[in-house]
Every structure is written in structure tokens, then in C-alpha cells.
Chains A and B, each alone.
Chain A
Amino acid sequence: MTLPRTGTPAMPEPIFERALIMSGFGINSEMETQVALLRAGMASDIVHINDLIDHKARLADYRLLVFPGGFSYGDDTGAGNAYANRVRNNLWRDLEEFLAGDNLVLGICNGFQILANLGLVPAFDRQYRREIALVPNRKGVLECRFVTLKPGADNLWTRGIERLYCPVSHGEGNFSCSKETLQKIRRQKMIAFSYCREDLSPANGEYPYNPNGSVEDIAGITSADGKVLGMMPHPERAMDFVNLYDWPLKKEQMKRQGVQVPHESMNMQLFKNIVKYFQ
């Protein structure tokens, strides 16, 4: 008996708008981020930050800027800190222009840490100040495990997403901010994703559902204007059904029920939403 399953989905024709994926100095998730976007329908270029600084590539040629995951500068001076400084000291004017336009910015894991250091989130009133921090996990070590996320707001990034199920892999992902900031984030509906249990009920800080101790189970937030998303978990690392932690069990259950096994995972919806925005 062969397994019922749909074939590899045909890659959609990419939209005109392109994405710029930052690389260099220890960023390591640029390849899978590029694949995820391409599958969703957006072509991209992986650009070393030095090439942007040397004007060998221009941010203005792109509509989506991605800071992927990794260990930029080994996280040696605090996760994302040194890379954020390199951006601030060399690319700030280009970045401000980019943020003023109808463009999107996505930061995943180390990318979120870079965004937080740059103040691209939460960026109340487009003021780019460092108002949140991703501090060391409550457990004190890096942990790589799958988490369940649910959207905390209906916005361009989360539309149509019921849940995400993807890995976290970080040592510093414990979302922390002042009470006032948290209140503003909550009031302006900026919590994009929060950690939850498998049945989508809140994790309420309980390990391992909330893997790092983040306040209010926050896994990702948007900027106040909604154009920037930073999140710790890695949807790009679990694009396919067979990437999911529980796929062998799910496959066996579907087989017995005569249900077709899907090819893609639910995590692709995030990247499809980006494409939809530009469409």
C-alpha cells in the first residue's frame, strides 16, 4: 500500500515585489527563509550586510526586509545587539526611509532580537527606541522544541491563521518590558502571537508551553503601525507536514481514516499573508 498524499505543490509565479534577506556575521536561517517566501510567492535576495553598507545593493529596491534567525556576532554582547548596532551605525537613514514607505519588515528569532534592539518594535508613534527586551530564558539555557502559537490580533500577518506549530530555538527569548509598555502593546492590539497549549488555551506562563517565561506568553509583536513583525519562533523551519514534531502520529491517524496527508504545514500561512498584502 502506498501512502495517499498530495504531490509537491506547484510553486506559484512570484509577485513583482521582492524581499531582501539580511545575512552575515553569524545569521544562519537565510536559506530556509528564502525558500519559505518563494513557496508563498515572493522572490528574494540574500544580501550580506556589508554589501548594503558598500551600496552594492539598495534597500529601496525591495518591499520586504527580513532579519532571519541565527547567532549574529555569537550573541556575545547580548543577542542581536552588535548586529543592531551595525545597522544603526551604517544603514539608519536607508532604514528610516524604508520604514516610511509602504513596506514590511519581519524579524525571526535573532532577527526579532535585532528589531528589539533597534526599536523597530514596538515603535509607538514611529519613535524607534528600545522599549522591550528579550532576556535569557527562565530556564537559563537555549532550548530547541516545538511550540503552539495562536494569533493575538487580526492583522495582515495573522489573517486566516488558527494556530502555528513550529520550533523555538533560543537562549534569550524571554519577552520583557515595563508595565506601561505592556499596557500600550495590549491596548493597541500589537501582540501578534502568544504561546499556548495544544488546545489553544493560554499557556499562562507554564513551561514548556511557554518555553522561556515571556510575560503574557508573548511570542511575537508588531510595531504600532503594524508594518513590522518580530517573533521568536521559527515558522520557516517547519514549512512541510513532515517537519512537524507530531507528524508521524498524525500521518498514521489520517491513513487509518482515509484522509489525505497534507504536504505543506499550517506555518506557511504567515508567508502567504505577506504575499497577499503586496497583492
Chain B
Amino acid sequence: MVHGVGVGGNCSGIPTPQGFVWFDDRYVGKPLVFAGTVGIIPREVDGRKMHEKRAQAGDHIVMVGGRVGKDGIHGATFSSEALDPKSPVTAVQIGDPITQKKFSDVIVHEARDRGLYHSITDNGAGGISCSVAEMAKECNGCHVILDAVPLKYPGMAPWEIWISESQERMTLAVPPEKLAAFMDLMQRRNVEATVIGTFTGTGRCVVEYHGSTVMDIDLVFLHDGLPKKQLMTAPAAATGADPDVPCPPRLEELLLTMLRRKNICSKEFISLQYDHTVQGGHVLGPVQGKGRVQGMATVTRVLPGSRKGVGLSQGLFPAYAEIDPYRMAAAGIDTAIRGLVAAGVPPSAIAILDNFCWCSSDDPVRLGQLKAAAFGCYDVATAFGTPFISGKDSMFNDFSGYDAAGNPVKISVPPTLLISSIGVHPDIHAAVSLDAKIEGDLVYVIGDTNEELAGSEYFAHLGVTGSTVPALDPVAMKERYQHLSDAISHGLVASAFPVTHGGLAVALAKVAIAGSLGMDITMPGNLRPDYYLFSETLGRFVVTVAPDNKRAFERALGADAILLGRVGGKNLRITGTTTLADLPVSELERAYKEPFGRY
């Protein structure tokens, strides 16, 4: 999988700064892989608004890029269906990123700006059946001749040609007067381009093969004919009891164990295999600081010479799903936004998208969880004022097979919601990395910590679920994030890192490891020390501040800024009423890097 993402992104010349891995045994049946891209287009070229596209009746339907084969037939339905012994092996496409690189170069750098086409759509799910039919909506009709579609090999049935999802293909609407110039350009760039039909205004989608019509469907019916499906939901029973484990008197071993957990430790060996510096826009990369810790957010400058950058971050809490899917959604959105705020992206310049990967979506209880998560998305996004700009879903991530003894088994993923965020950093020179930087700097946690450990990494370590998933007050958080954002834009913050999986102790350890600097921390409040240090209460940051900026910073953050101690020395020392932990940063670093250190 790592190799696949690496080859795809690297050969495309697109920087891949983001990425993380989440482990849960329930993904063993159907592992989930999320990959996404962000692009930029000029607003206008020669007076044409570049986001507008419209195929016109009479335009040629032109397919460019790779040829069509039997790979990828039913790929999209396959990815949304349960895996069982009858799942087709040819559903997965055979990728070849260089074929795509060749045509993306010529389309983006040459054909686009010369205005050689009216409309363009990528051949993804459903292949040309979807791309052509979607574009046909723009002009109200199409006529496709399947015999013209270039094939990888003979022997394909017409329906296979029509729906194959073989990759690295685009469909374009090329006006007749531009066809010669378009085809000449493609030929000179060694890109295969073929006219496979005509866009029409007949209101019908007509497909022809060997001289006979194999499909002739009313376009309105094709797009909107599917009757709306009614599904029933049922509320999920609340699960999970709180543990009955006393707090250990010293927390050194516990902290080291937490840092070694697969969901917390370093997976740097993966990040390094993805080219994140191509195009020369590296500002904050996947690993940060002398001690090389994986960040939550990255910042990339997209246009050379620009002061602005693009921030990306993510939030994912599948461990909360079975306990409280509404709060799981809230946690995902909050974390995705918070990661960007920590890097200096103002909350008002952030947009998000959702990726629902559910299981057994014919089961009313699973659908009830889905509904709760969707409500969570709506409530939190509207309260933050953060737009959802895209999203995707896959509803049957279940595996049906047999165990070693031949007994049937079903393995379902936990309901999984990935929230990805994108933000515009107004000034990359003011971007903030996560590492502690200078001895003597003050260490703050921004935001109170509550006893909210259900679904936490700490409870997972203890082998219990718990009952209280972190709650979120998005209105209060919005204000807090604006304050921090202002402090960052005024240069008051030396480092900032969101507190997420593993809680405050893990965040402090990561900031210390990244800076190769110790910290002296005093724990405030009356919570049980292990709960205080490993609770996953949302909305929090660990921030370091130069002593000279103390007053200005505290004025900016108000009561949210809780001073914990200072940066300095070689150890991370945490004191409550007694010393709770005192560990050399080098030992923390070893624990953090050990689990995958030999990859």
C-alpha cells in the first residue's frame, strides 16, 4: 500500500506531505485506504472563467490517456460492497501514473490555456458510462460508438467497455473547429486521444456497437430515474463501562508504553517515502523539529514567490464510534480544524470534507450511528462556520469468509469518519512548527482538561471502553481558536501542537522530543493524574512562548492559557502533589521511534 501511494504520488510530481496510519484489529478484513489531492486553477484565462465547463451539442467526445481493459470492472461497486469469496479479482485497476502525467502536463500547460475543449471529466467510477453521461447533462445528450474506444486487448463485451474503470483516462468535449489542433497536440506529446462519439441535444444517451444500438435511454431517467430508497434506523444502545483500575503512583512506564502504541508512535518511515518537497513548496513537512516528530498539520506553498501557503490536516476517531458517533464526528472536525490553527491558519480560512466508511449499512443500528454522525457533522460545522466542500462514502466495509477451522466469520470495520481540512495560510513566514525551541520558554496548555477517556488510547491500553467520549462546545472553541490565531499572527508563539490521541502527556512528550529539549511541568487541578495526563478532551493545544511574550500571550488567550512550566534540561519532569514522571527526553524519543524503527 505504501509503495502504491508512493509510486502514484511521486511519479505524478505532486507533493505528498500528509499521511497517517490508524490501527484497529477490525480493519483486518477490509483495510481502508484514503488518498486525496488538492489542485489549483487560475480564476480566469483570456476572460474565460476556468471553473465553468459546458459540453455543447456537436462537440466531439474525446477520450485521452490509457486504454480500456477488463481491469476495474465494477471497481466502485466493489469498493462499496462486502468482500466475500465471490468478489471479482479484476475489480482493482492497474495503475500507470506516467500515462496520466503525460496527459496532465499537456492538458494543464497547453490545451487548457489554448481553450481547445469545452468540458472535461475524469474517468473514475463507472468509466465512460459515467463521465460521458455526466457531461451529456451539460448539453442534453450523447451518442457513443463503442467500437472506437481503444482497448488493451480484443475480446471485451460492449458493457465491459462502457463501464470499465481502467485508470489514467479523461473524457473531453472538443468542438469540431478545435479538433485538429487538439489531436495534433496530443500526438506531439505521445498521448493517445480518440474520438468516441458526439455530444448531442436529443435528450437521450445512445450507445452503439458493431452498427447496432445497444443502449438508448432518456437522459433524465438515466440520472434521476432511481427511486429514492427508504431505510430504517434504530438507536444504538450505549455501551462501555468505566474501568476499575487505580492510578499508578509513578507514570514513567505508562508514558513510555503510551508512546510505543502503534497509533501514537512514529511512522516516519512512511512519510519519507512520499516526495513532499517536489514543486519547491515545503514549509512545514510531515516530520518537524530536530527530534523529528510527525506533525498534525503541514503547510505547503503552492505558488512560487507567494506569501500564502496551503495547510492540510485531518481528524479520525473510530474508537469513539461505538460509544457515541455524534461525538466522534465532533472530535474529527475539531481535530482537523485545530491542527491547522496550531500551524497558524486562521479558523475563518478553513474548509473541510468528510469520508464516511461504514459497515453493514442495511442494519438499522449501523444506520442510526450514521445518522448521529451526520448530525454531528452538521451541528459542529455550522457552529464553527466551516464549510464542507466535498465528501465521499463507502457503506459496506465488511468481510465475509471463513476462519482456519472453516467456520464462517464476518469482520466489519468500526464506523469510520475521516475529516480532512484545508486552509489558506496568509503568511508562511509566520507558520508555527510543533517543536519546543528555546530553553526557558514557557509551556502552556490551552484549554481545560476533563475526565473524558472513553475510547481513548489510554483506555485501549487498559483494555476497557469507558462511557464518556470527549464533548465539544464549538462556539467556545471558535473563539479560543481565533485568540490563538491572533497570538500566532503577532509572533507570540514559538511552538504549538494540538492535544489529540494519547492526551496531554503524549503531546508534551512529542513537543519535547521534537525540540530535543526537556520540560519541567506542574500538573494543575484535582483530576486523577493518569486521567489528567491521558484524557482526550478536545480543543486543547500545547504551546511554548518566549518569556518576553508572557504578558501579551496571556492577555490574548485569557483564562484558556494554563501555565504548566518551562522548557529546559534534558528530562521531561511532571509533578503533581508528588513527582509523577521524570524521564530523559532521549528515552522518550527511543520509545516513540522504536516500534517501527527498523522499517
Q: Which of A175-183, A212-220, A253-261 sits within the interface?
A: A253-261
Rounded to whole angstroms, the CA-CA distance of A245 and B283 in the bound complex is 8
Interface membership of A70, Cβ < 8 A: yes
Interfacial residues of chain B within 273-298, with CB under 8 A of chain A in the complex? 273-285, 288-290
Of chain A, the residue at the smallest CB distance from B282 is A243
Instruction: Decide yes or no: A142 and B98 within 8 Å by CB, A245-B285, A248-B284 being known contacts.
Output: no
Of chain A, the residue at the smallest CB distance from B492 is A1
Most buried by A among B273, B277, B281, B285: B277
Q: Which of A18-26, A149-157, A188-196 sits within the interface?
A: A18-26
Rounded to whole angstroms, the CA-CA distance of A169 and B437 in the bound complex is 27
Rounded to whole angstroms, the CA-CA distance of A1 and B494 in the bound complex is 13
Residues of B within 8 A of A246 (CB): 290
The answer to whether B280 touches A50, judged by C-beta atoms less than 8 angstroms apart, is: no
Interface membership of B10, Cβ < 8 A: yes
Residues of B within 8 A of A143 (CB): 272-273
Rounded to whole angstroms, the CA-CA distance of A191 and B489 in the bound complex is 44
Rounded to whole angstroms, the CA-CA distance of A174 and B25 in the bound complex is 38
Of chain A, the residue at the smallest CB distance from B100 is A26
Of A2, A32, A237, A248, the contact of B431 (CB 8 Å cutoff): A248
Of chain A, the residue at the smallest CB distance from B299 is A242
The answer to whether B101 touches A26, judged by C-beta atoms less than 8 angstroms apart, is: yes
Instruction: Decide yes or no: A249 and B435 within 8 Å by CB, A35-B304, A142-B273 being known contacts.
Output: yes
Instruction: Decide yes or no: A249 and B278 within 8 Å by CB, A71-B11, A74-B11 being known contacts.
Output: no
The answer to whether B494 touches A32, judged by C-beta atoms less than 8 angstroms apart, is: no
Residues of A within 8 A of B13 (CB): 26, 28-29, 70-71
Interfacial residues of chain A within 186-240, with CB under 8 A of chain B in the complex? 234, 236-239
Residues of A within 8 A of B289 (CB): 249
Rounded to whole angstroms, the CA-CA distance of A7 and B435 in the bound complex is 26
Rounded to whole angstroms, the CA-CA distance of A142 and B438 in the bound complex is 33
Q: What is the minimal beta-carbon distance from B298 to any residue of chain A, in angstroms?
A: 13
Of chain B, the residue at the smallest CB distance from A250 is B437
Rounded to whole angstroms, the CA-CA distance of A73 and B12 in the bound complex is 11
Of chain A, the residue at the smallest CB distance from B432 is A248
The answer to whether B98 touches A74, judged by C-beta atoms less than 8 angstroms apart, is: yes
The answer to whether A248 touches B433, judged by C-beta atoms less than 8 angstroms apart, is: yes
Rounded to whole angstroms, the CA-CA distance of A142 and B278 in the bound complex is 13
The answer to whether B188 touches A29, judged by C-beta atoms less than 8 angstroms apart, is: no
Interface membership of A51, Cβ < 8 A: yes
The answer to whether A28 touches B190, judged by C-beta atoms less than 8 angstroms apart, is: no
Interface membership of A69, Cβ < 8 A: yes
The answer to whether A23 touches B437, judged by C-beta atoms less than 8 angstroms apart, is: no
Interface membership of B428, Cβ < 8 A: yes
Interface membership of A100, Cβ < 8 A: no
Interface membership of A15, Cβ < 8 A: no
Rounded to whole angstroms, the CA-CA distance of A8 and B428 in the bound complex is 13
Rounded to whole angstroms, the CA-CA distance of A156 and B433 in the bound complex is 37
Q: What is the minimal beta-carbon distance from A138 to any residue of chain B, in angstroms?
A: 14
The answer to whether B273 touches A144, judged by C-beta atoms less than 8 angstroms apart, is: yes
Residues of A within 8 A of B279 (CB): 29, 31-32, 237
Interface membership of B223, Cβ < 8 A: no
Residues of B within 8 A of A93 (CB): none
Q: What is the minimal beta-carbon distance from A206 to any residue of chain B, in angstroms?
A: 16
Of A51, A142, A255, the contact of B491 (CB 8 Å cutoff): A255
Rounded to whole angstroms, the CA-CA distance of A69 and B432 in the bound complex is 29
Residues of B within 8 A of A75 (CB): 11
Rounded to whole angstroms, the CA-CA distance of A24 and B110 in the bound complex is 12
**Cβ proximity bits B201-228 to A, threshold 8 Å, 1 near / 0 not:** 0000000000000000000000000000
Interface membership of A54, Cβ < 8 A: yes
The answer to whether B105 touches A237, judged by C-beta atoms less than 8 angstroms apart, is: no
Interface membership of B305, Cβ < 8 A: yes
Q: What is the minimal beta-carbon distance from A49 to any residue of chain B, in angstroms?
A: 10
The answer to whether A144 touches B274, judged by C-beta atoms less than 8 angstroms apart, is: yes
The answer to whether A26 touches B491, judged by C-beta atoms less than 8 angstroms apart, is: no
Interface membership of A145, Cβ < 8 A: yes
Q: What is the minimal beta-carbon distance from A252 to any residue of chain B, in angstroms?
A: 5
Rounded to whole angstroms, the CA-CA distance of A255 and B273 in the bound complex is 33
Rounded to whole angstroms, the CA-CA distance of A236 and B282 in the bound complex is 11
The answer to whether A25 touches B98, judged by C-beta atoms less than 8 angstroms apart, is: yes
Residues of B within 8 A of A236 (CB): 280
Rounded to whole angstroms, the CA-CA distance of A73 and B552 in the bound complex is 55
Of chain A, the residue at the smallest CB distance from B515 is A249
Interface membership of A91, Cβ < 8 A: no
Q: What is the minimal beta-carbon distance from A56 to any residue of chain B, in angstroms?
A: 8
Of B277, B281, B288, the contact of A248 (CB 8 Å cutoff): B288
Interface membership of B262, Cβ < 8 A: no
The answer to whether B101 touches A28, judged by C-beta atoms less than 8 angstroms apart, is: yes
Interface membership of A111, Cβ < 8 A: no
Instruction: Decide yes or no: A261 and B280 within 8 Å by CB, A26-B11, A74-B98 being known contacts.
Output: no
Rounded to whole angstroms, the CA-CA distance of A2 and B288 in the bound complex is 23
Residues of A within 8 A of B101 (CB): 25-26, 28, 71
Interface membership of A167, Cβ < 8 A: yes
The answer to whether A144 touches B491, judged by C-beta atoms less than 8 angstroms apart, is: no
Interface membership of B6, Cβ < 8 A: yes
Instruction: Decide yes or no: A8 and B305 within 8 Å by CB, A50-B188, A236-B280, A243-B280 being known contacts.
Output: yes
Interface membership of B385, Cβ < 8 A: no
Interface membership of A184, Cβ < 8 A: no
The answer to whether A253 touches B438, judged by C-beta atoms less than 8 angstroms apart, is: yes
Of A23, A35, A243, the contact of B105 (CB 8 Å cutoff): A23
Instruction: Decide yes or no: A69 and B278 within 8 Å by CB, A26-B102, A29-B13 being known contacts.
Output: yes
**Cβ proximity bits A23-52 to B, threshold 8 Å, 1 near / 0 not:** 111101101100110000000000010110
Residues of A within 8 A of B178 (CB): none
The answer to whether A2 touches B491, judged by C-beta atoms less than 8 angstroms apart, is: yes
Residues of A within 8 A of B76 (CB): none
The answer to whether B273 touches A242, judged by C-beta atoms less than 8 angstroms apart, is: no
The answer to whether A237 touches B278, judged by C-beta atoms less than 8 angstroms apart, is: yes
The answer to whether A24 touches B98, judged by C-beta atoms less than 8 angstroms apart, is: no
Interface membership of A58, Cβ < 8 A: no
Rounded to whole angstroms, the CA-CA distance of A98 and B4 in the bound complex is 40
**Cβ proximity bits B104-135 to A, threshold 8 Å, 1 near / 0 not:** 01000000000000000000000000000000
Rounded to whole angstroms, the CA-CA distance of A2 and B429 in the bound complex is 11
Of A2, A71, A76, A252, the contact of B437 (CB 8 Å cutoff): A252
Interface membership of B97, Cβ < 8 A: yes
Interface membership of B196, Cβ < 8 A: no
Rounded to whole angstroms, the CA-CA distance of A3 and B546 in the bound complex is 14
Interface membership of A129, Cβ < 8 A: no
Most buried by B among A51, A74, A248: A248
The answer to whether A237 touches B438, judged by C-beta atoms less than 8 angstroms apart, is: no
The answer to whether B102 touches A71, judged by C-beta atoms less than 8 angstroms apart, is: no
Residues of A within 8 A of B96 (CB): 74
Q: What is the minimal beta-carbon distance from B494 to any residue of chain A, in angstroms?
A: 5
**Cβ proximity bits B6-37 to A, threshold 8 Å, 1 near / 0 not:** 11001111000000000000000000000000
Rounded to whole angstroms, the CA-CA distance of A255 and B98 in the bound complex is 45
Residues of A within 8 A of B190 (CB): 25, 50
Q: List 22 A-B contacts (CB under 8 A).
A: A1-B549, A24-B102, A25-B101, A25-B102, A26-B102, A28-B12, A28-B278, A35-B305, A48-B188, A50-B189, A71-B97, A73-B98, A167-B277, A169-B10, A238-B280, A239-B280, A248-B431, A248-B433, A248-B437, A252-B546, A253-B437, A253-B438
| A-B contacts besides A3-B430, A32-B278, 20 pairs, CB < 8 Å | A23-B105, A25-B101, A26-B11, A26-B13, A29-B279, A32-B279, A32-B304, A35-B280, A35-B304, A35-B305, A71-B11, A141-B6, A144-B272, A238-B280, A239-B304, A242-B428, A243-B281, A248-B432, A248-B495, A255-B491
8 nearest interchain CB pairs? A28-B13, A32-B280, A248-B433, A167-B277, A74-B98, A71-B11, A35-B304, A237-B280
